[in-house]
Chains A and B, each alone.
Chain A
């Protein structure tokens, strides 16, 4: 697997062309205030005040053309940091690299007569803190994928998920993190549907896996965990369940296992319906959504009830850990996985992951992350975690949410909504946000 590296990101919408970043770079690298010598260059600073700005900066490319074209071998990519370095002792000053780079990331420093380029200041770039507008960011998020990439993917390649399936992404990441000493329960739904448990003697999973009933996942898993505990073996009990089974017909066994504090990690993949069997409504389907059992017709326009808030119900079981998560915020998800795994050593851990469904929600398969992100940015989905010790708190608070229409319009399942229905949804989003906010204030009483 390839590696991901930290990088400097630029937001032209926030840049006002002040040039502070350039000054900071020049100072850090040359000890002067000469912005011509800065390795970061903002273009378009002349002219009208409303002009947009562009950035010339080394992208530290994965497949760097500057390195390829260098005849002297003076440029090389560091496999660990990802930074492309320049070796003065080998450079013949031919400037071919400046031609090879499409981003003007490497240029001639006329003062020295050699090329110069950004080296990210050893992971602490001077330009980023100098930007008071927040147009520059040093992005380190991608690093979690490097660690993840070294762990074994415990699902076989070629599972039969839909194109762009978010659930498959989530499953592969989750099981990587949880590891091979796991017994995995995948109740009927998309997870076994795409071949995790297998067909006619095959299996798509490398850990022991089973297909409980839609109704008894938590109970069956409890029996497994109890027996391993009895014989003194540390085996992780993990469920990857759909929202329908968990919130509807399987809720009794889920609630019972949570009440007894069975030591397991129960993950619900919430794609807001029975998406594997033809996109029928579940109690987690949101108000107004089209499903095959809440169709749009003359007298009814989508689901007429609001979604059941399963993670909040689980909070009221006083589980060892409860959290909501989204694949659009992987670092947050991994953090919560770690906490949930730790909590499942002593009690019931519950992780509720929102999982947009390209097929059932009616949006193009390349927009999965975008839909997932918009859900959070509009507060349609709120990311929080709960423990009995620390109560409930937001992990990605969105104080200034986008209007809910930004989320709804991304999907075909809400295309039919009337203004009144949109208003209802927006009202509910605000109401839910206030409800959870109140819980953050009062959850310490336990």
Chain B
């Protein structure tokens, strides 16, 4: 290749200039959706997701987004409309949280079984009862065995970029599963920050040609029965069912690779990169680590920096992809440390600890090496997880490193404040 051709190729690959705007997380999610050019969005408002719906409605009303918007009578119908749309070949999107997600559950757990690549933003909200309209991860954690891919965002910019990537991941032929982009209610939904808007042409090239329903469709031109009854007591039925279930599981495992590929492609084309599965922060020479999820990571990184300045050899592990759980990537990170503290923004009722902590115990077992660890629960019902909170986590985890016994109960960060 000549130098001129190389320069031309390089120029073509370099991302176009990006507009800088100020946006809330909900607005960034809506803008990300618009960039992905869905055919259909169906929505029902619920706090703290409502302004996301409003932004979508406005984008469509202003002609900045060419999608059919269905204002359905509740989340149950919202996802049902999208299932229909997806079965007719549409790229589809919605957002919900908390009680809305609970109300959506019946079609929700059916979506991965039909392998419909629907993207759904969970603007995370704590569970009721007691009543709470504030942030927390309880809603998303509650549905973690429904078979959706779940990724958690740290910043408003990450929300926008991840939303676009979510469609590419969902529609990948080796995956064909729905994706939840989780953004923290209150903190990210209403928190405004500087956001770089990728150029539409760059996103179009990234997305490629639309190819949503090559596998399952309701189309008179190629009639098929979608989702016939399977199972029974013997023979062919249960075998068929097992084949489908195994297919879903392998789709989830394939997603780990696809998520990495899509993030790498995004970084190359758009010029911004995010850790696709697990982010390691100041971990390489760390003696112990803390683990975070979502927006709390910002405060945690600040606390880590301060602790490092104070001479503590502490690092951070951020989970970006929670479902499928990135066991291999996490084991690689865990191999570097000798003690671990895990912060959850939700509770696991069965084990009396945070759900992410519980998942991590499995990865620790796989590691084949005992690491003392403990569970921290904070940020419930909209509570802030601040730098001082994280310092407490760092200090108590460090005590494990020095031989303190790990408590069998979680540490509740907002209990007495």
Whether the pair B106, A259 counts as a contact (CB closer than 8 A) is: no
Whether the pair A227, B40 counts as a contact (CB closer than 8 A) is: yes
Whether the pair B73, A253 counts as a contact (CB closer than 8 A) is: yes
- Tell me, yes or no, whether A276 is within 8 Å of chain B by CB: no
Report the interface size class on chain A.
35 or more
Q: A226-B68, A226-B70 are in contact. Are A203 and B88 (CB under 8 A)?
A: no
Closest to A221 in B: B84
Within the complex, the shortest CB–CB distance from B362 to chain A, in Å, comes to 33
Whether the pair B42, A213 counts as a contact (CB closer than 8 A) is: no
- Tell me, yes or no, whether A166 is within 8 Å of chain B by CB: no
Whether the pair A210, B226 counts as a contact (CB closer than 8 A) is: yes
- Tell me, yes or no, whether A43 is within 8 Å of chain B by CB: no
**Quick one: which of B77, B90, B219, B222 contacts A230, CB cutoff 8 A?**
B90
- Tell me, yes or no, whether B110 is within 8 Å of chain A by CB: yes
A226 contact set on B, CB distance < 8 A: 40, 68, 70, 81, 84-85, 90
Whether the pair B230, A200 counts as a contact (CB closer than 8 A) is: yes
Closest to B42 in A: A223
- Tell me, yes or no, whether A415 is within 8 Å of chain B by CB: no
Whether the pair B76, A216 counts as a contact (CB closer than 8 A) is: yes
Whether the pair B76, A215 counts as a contact (CB closer than 8 A) is: yes
Interface of B is mostly: mixed
Q: A199-B230, A220-B81, A230-B68 are in contact. Are A213 and B240 (CB under 8 A)?
A: no
Docked Cα-Cα span, A218 to B228, in Å, equals 19
Identify which of residues 197-232 in chain A touch chain B, using a CB-to-CB cut-off of 8 Å.
197-203, 205-213, 215-216, 218-228, 230-231
Closest to B114 in A: A210
- Tell me, yes or no, whether A183 is within 8 Å of chain B by CB: yes
- Tell me, yes or no, whether A76 is within 8 Å of chain B by CB: no
Identify which of residues 204-245 in chain B touch chain A, using a CB-to-CB cut-off of 8 Å.
217-220, 222-232, 236-237, 240
Whether the pair A219, B230 counts as a contact (CB closer than 8 A) is: no
Whether the pair B90, A181 counts as a contact (CB closer than 8 A) is: no
Whether the pair B225, A216 counts as a contact (CB closer than 8 A) is: no
Docked Cα-Cα span, A223 to B223, in Å, equals 18
Whether the pair A219, B77 counts as a contact (CB closer than 8 A) is: yes
A202 contact set on B, CB distance < 8 A: 225, 228
Interface of A is mostly: mixed
Closest to B78 in A: A219
Contact with A along B155-193 (1 / 0, CB 8 A): 000000000000000000000000000000000000000
- Tell me, yes or no, whether B74 is within 8 Å of chain A by CB: yes
Within the complex, the shortest CB–CB distance from B55 to chain A, in Å, comes to 21
Q: A220-B83, A227-B90, A228-B88 are in contact. Are A252 and B223 (CB under 8 A)?
A: no
- Tell me, yes or no, whether B413 is within 8 Å of chain A by CB: no
Docked Cα-Cα span, A224 to B70, in Å, equals 12
Docked Cα-Cα span, A224 to B224, in Å, equals 14
B76 contact set on A, CB distance < 8 A: 215-216, 219, 252-253
Q: A212-B80, A226-B40, A230-B68 are in contact. Are A199 and B106 (CB under 8 A)?
A: no
Best-surrounded residue of B78, B218, B226 (most CB of chain A within 10 A): B218
Q: A207-B223, A212-B80, A253-B77 are in contact. Are A227 and B39 (CB under 8 A)?
A: yes
- Tell me, yes or no, whether A4 is within 8 Å of chain B by CB: no
Best-surrounded residue of A201, A226, A231 (most CB of chain B within 10 A): A226
Contact with A along B323-346 (1 / 0, CB 8 A): 000000000000000000000000
Within the complex, the shortest CB–CB distance from A405 to chain B, in Å, comes to 41
- Tell me, yes or no, whether B406 is within 8 Å of chain A by CB: no
- Tell me, yes or no, whether A255 is within 8 Å of chain B by CB: yes
Whether the pair B227, A213 counts as a contact (CB closer than 8 A) is: no
Docked Cα-Cα span, A209 to B218, in Å, equals 7
- Tell me, yes or no, whether B72 is within 8 Å of chain A by CB: yes
A231 contact set on B, CB distance < 8 A: 89
Whether the pair B77, A216 counts as a contact (CB closer than 8 A) is: yes
Whether the pair A222, B70 counts as a contact (CB closer than 8 A) is: yes
**Quick one: which of B88, B110, B222, B237 contacts A200, CB cutoff 8 A?**
B237
Total B residues in contact with A, Cβ cutoff 8 Å: 45
B225 contact set on A, CB distance < 8 A: 197-198, 202-203, 205, 208-210
Whether the pair B77, A203 counts as a contact (CB closer than 8 A) is: no
**Quick one: which of B40, B68, B80, B230 contacts A216, CB cutoff 8 A?**
B80
B227 contact set on A, CB distance < 8 A: 197, 210-211
Whether the pair B220, A208 counts as a contact (CB closer than 8 A) is: yes
Identify which of residues 227-248 in chain A touch chain B, using a CB-to-CB cut-off of 8 Å.
227-228, 230-231, 235
Within the complex, the shortest CB–CB distance from B136 to chain A, in Å, comes to 28
B83 contact set on A, CB distance < 8 A: 216, 220, 223
- Tell me, yes or no, whether B87 is within 8 Å of chain A by CB: yes
Closest to A196 in B: B225
Q: A201-B240, A203-B225 are in contact. Are A208 and B70 (CB under 8 A)?
A: no
B217 contact set on A, CB distance < 8 A: 208
Whether the pair A200, B85 counts as a contact (CB closer than 8 A) is: no
B223 contact set on A, CB distance < 8 A: 180, 205-209
Best-surrounded residue of B72, B74, B231 (most CB of chain A within 10 A): B72
Docked Cα-Cα span, A208 to B110, in Å, equals 19
Closest to B237 in A: A200
A197 contact set on B, CB distance < 8 A: 225-229
Q: A216-B107, A223-B42 are in contact. Are A203 and B224 (CB under 8 A)?
A: yes
- Tell me, yes or no, whether B123 is within 8 Å of chain A by CB: no
Docked Cα-Cα span, A225 to B73, in Å, equals 17
List the 3 closest A-B pairs by CB distance, nearest first: A223-B84, A256-B73, A203-B225
| CB pairs A–B below 8 angstroms (24 shown) | A181-B220, A198-B225, A199-B228, A200-B228, A200-B232, A200-B236, A201-B236, A203-B224, A208-B218, A208-B222, A209-B218, A211-B227, A211-B229, A213-B107, A213-B110, A216-B77, A223-B40, A223-B42, A223-B90, A225-B84, A226-B70, A227-B84, A256-B77, A260-B72
Having A192-B229, A216-B80, one finds 17 other A-B pairs with CB under 8 Å, namely A183-B88, A183-B220, A197-B225, A197-B227, A199-B229, A199-B237, A205-B223, A209-B223, A213-B110, A219-B81, A223-B40, A223-B42, A224-B85, A226-B84, A227-B39, A253-B77, A256-B72
Q: Which residues of A contact B (CB under 8 A)?
A: 180-183, 192, 197-203, 205-213, 215-216, 218-228, 230-231, 235, 252-253, 255-257, 259-260
